[in-house]
Amino acid sequence: MQTVIKKKIRHFHMFCGLGAGAKGFNKANARVGNMVGEFECLGGIDVDPAAIKDFKRLTGVEGTVLDLFDRDQYIAFHGREPDSNWREATTADIKHAAGNQRPHIIFLSAPCKGFSGLLNETKSKTDKYQALNRLTLRGVWLMLEAWADDLPELIVFENVPRIATRGRHLLDQITSMLRQYGYAVAETTHDCGELGGLAQSRKRFLLVARQTEKVPPFLYEPQKKSLQSVGTILGRMPMPGDIAGGPMHRIPNLQWKTWVRLAFVEAGSDWRSLNKLAVEDSVLRDYLIVPEFYNGYLGVNKWQDHIGTIDGKARPCNGAYSIADPRMPHSENRQYGIYKMVDWKKASGSVTGAAHVAGAAMSIADPRSHTGFGGKGKYIVTPFDKNANTVIAASTTGRGAFAVADPRPTNQRTKGDNYLTNGHYGVVPFDEHCGAVSAAAGHDNGRWSVADPRLPAADEKMVCVIRALDDTWHRPFTTLELAALQSIIEPEEFLELDGLSDQAWRERIGNAVPPDASKAIAEVMGTTLLLAWSGETFVLSATPIWVRPVAIALTMAQEGWA
């Protein structure tokens, strides 16, 4: 029997965020023969103190709060001089953050706002976002200089796909720098959902580098997995608002007009579904949402011929948290996916840090029953010409032979009929008095309902359960559900993040690298390291080579990579 040889694989994370990527590395497994890799996190660096507190929660390792801007970048980004206690980070700070140990793998996930398509082209070119973009280059330089005398074997640089165009000049400099330090480099794009078998499709840019002297074997791609449906994840979680899910599982307060719009968006579609609604005189023709004397109150108003105009009615405004009205003139900056409604049986799109459903923070067509929403098959009304369900001893659950659609007219009722004079389902006008309140007063046994003219203002925020046309509840994902879709937690788990702000939680969750995806990356890297440490210089694999030797890379196209 062979003796198992355990080898530590140390990993370190620059721009670590809340530590989801590091969590995935910690979960990874690698084995070659009798050699087994054990992943050990040395720490992480981020400028956000709340993220570093979360890093400790997710990884069990202390992180370091450190600003990696140089002075010029700081001034350009913040628009002011730094405080007197601020100083530029040094290579010694980087090494200290890793416990003065040398990592085998370094994972960098630099800020991506300046490269993201969610930021318009003009704003991305401002000094502020250009300074943020240059952190990518500075982060790589600090890392290489920190361990210049004993370089890490493997490096992974993660970002949004658009960095390949908006950040082309920076990537060229990073690649040149890495090659000067002896790395073979490849730029790749991957779907993190396929790497981790997630319930979301999350396209990302990955630059991977292999120190050729230390690691002769090729680095192969992780194997792809099938995407799950969101229902396989959400179906294992408590209903939104259940106290068992904690404060991160509450339904966001949305404006009344937003709830109405969500109800009319088809599952699997977005705001473009609203274009199918018939609108006459700025009012929905085929659906009565509010009493007629509130004509136009929640009408779907046409957008004017110029972008950005807001009139006195409840029209959408132009911005990150507004709907891109389908009747607006075509624009390069119009974003698809606004009010995105995810089908329960399909995978979701990429989880982002957006804090509002109108900013592409997706919503779900939830088929499950909910308090006030009713359940399928409950309180069944049997057609007069059909057979009834089973007659049971009690109908407290609303099931069984419960009710019938009686076609016989009520004008045939005679004196003594309880439903003739007692005002069952009676509605009292708002400006009149009601009858005496009895102990058994209920909406179905007298005039115990009121025609209340007070309706929510269009911008009043609330939680609503509106049955959509497809008989499901169209609602936003809760923050906890987004964390589960990112694989930060298992659906049955409870999660607490630092702070009390849903917006801050969602931003950190949206910026995170899904642990299940980073686990897949870590495992192929761990296997490559074990092969190198065992003396192997070549191995066959059914998956494509990820990072080829420099000489081959210069003479042969890397198939599948942009």
pLDDT of residue 374: 42
Cβ 125 vs Cβ 134: under 8 Å = no
pLDDT of residue 439: 77
pLDDT of residue 51: 96
User: Distance between the two ends of the chain, CA-based, in angstroms?
Assistant: 46
Q: What is the DSSP string of 158-212?
A: EE-TTHHHHTHHHHHHHHHHHHHTTEEEEEEEEEHHHHHT-SB--EEEEEEEEET
Taking each continuous run of H as one helix and of E as one strand, the counts in the chain are 17, 21
Strand locations in 452-548 (E) = 461-462, 473-476, 545-547
- 96, pLDDT greater than 90: yes
Q: Span 349-371, mean pLDDT?
A: 67
- 113, pLDDT greater than 50: yes
DSSP 370: B
Parallel, antiparallel or unpaired: strands 381-383 and 403-405 = parallel
Task: Determine if the pTM surpasses 0.85.
Answer: no
pLDDT of residue 300: 37
pLDDT of residue 217: 77
If pLDDT is split at 50, 70 and 90, which confidence band does 409 have? Answer: low
- 133, pLDDT greater than 90: yes
Q: Span 51-57, mean pLDDT?
A: 96
Of residues 413 and 303, the one with the higher pLDDT is 413
pLDDT digits (tens, 9 = 90+) for 424-443: 778 888 888 888 887 777 77
Top mean-pLDDT range of 169-173, 226-230, 346-350: 169-173
Distance CA 42, CA 40 (A): 6
pLDDT of residue 47: 96
If pLDDT is split at 50, 70 and 90, which confidence band does 398 have? Answer: low
pLDDT digits (tens, 9 = 90+) for 295-342: 333 333 333 433 522 323 333 333 322 333 332 334 444 455 666 777
User: In 10 A of CB 201, how many CB atoms?
Assistant: 15
- The amino acid that residue 333 corresponds to is N
Torsion angle, alpha carbons of 379, 384, 388, 393, to 10: 60
- The amino acid that residue 560 corresponds to is G
Q: Span 259-282, mean pLDDT?
A: 84
Cβ 238 vs Cβ 525: under 8 Å = no
Q: What is the DSSP string of 351-363?
A: --S--SGGGT--E
pLDDT of residue 337: 62
- 444, pLDDT greater than 80: no
> Domain extents for the chain?
5-229+510-555
Distance CA 82, CA 74 (A): 7
Distance CA 124, CA 465 (A): 38
What residues are paired with 467 via a beta bridge?
Answer: 473
Picking from 44, 64, 195, the residue whose alpha carbon sits closest to that of residue 515 is 195
Of residues 556 and 90, the one with the higher pLDDT is 90
Of residues 403 and 200, the one with the higher pLDDT is 200
If pLDDT is split at 50, 70 and 90, which confidence band does 121 have? Answer: confident
Locus of tokens 């923050």: 479
SS in 3 state form for 304-330? CCCCCCCCCCCCCCCCCCCCCCCCCCC
Q: Span 461-490, mean pLDDT?
A: 87
pLDDT of residue 306: 32
* Exposure string for 481-501, b = 16+ CB within 10 A, e = fewer: bbbbbbbbbebeeebebbeee
Of residues 379 and 100, the one with the higher pLDDT is 100
Cβ 118 vs Cβ 320: under 8 Å = yes
Distance CA 445, CA 411 (A): 19
- Helix (H/G/I), strand (E/B), else coil: 474: strand
Q: What is the mean pLDDT of the chain?
A: 80
If pLDDT is split at 50, 70 and 90, which confidence band does 39 have? Answer: very high
- 92, pLDDT greater than 90: yes
Tell me whether residue 439 is exposed, middle or buried, using C-beta atoms within 10 angstroms of its C-beta: 0 to 12, 13 to 18, 19 or more. Answer: exposed
pLDDT of residue 550: 28
Of residues 224 and 46, the one with the higher pLDDT is 46
pLDDT digits (tens, 9 = 90+) for 219-250: 777 888 999 888 888 889 998 888 889 999 99
Of residues 550 and 150, the one with the higher pLDDT is 150
Cβ 490 vs Cβ 169: under 8 Å = no
- 559, pLDDT greater than 60: no
SS in 3 state form for 422-462? CCCCCEEECCCCCCCCCCCCCCCCCCCEEECCCCCCCCCEE
Residues 6 or more apart whose CB falls under 8 angstroms from that of 51 comprise 16, 17, 18, 19, 63, 498, 508
Distance CA 124, CA 112 (A): 11
**Architecture of the domain made up of 5-229+510-555:** 3-Layer(aba) Sandwich (3.40)
Share of the chain above pLDDT 70, in %: 77
Cβ 213 vs Cβ 204: under 8 Å = no
- The amino acid that residue 542 corresponds to is A
pLDDT of residue 298: 37
If pLDDT is split at 50, 70 and 90, which confidence band does 410 have? Answer: low
If pLDDT is split at 50, 70 and 90, which confidence band does 372 have? Answer: very low
Sign of CA dihedral 503, 507, 508, 513: positive
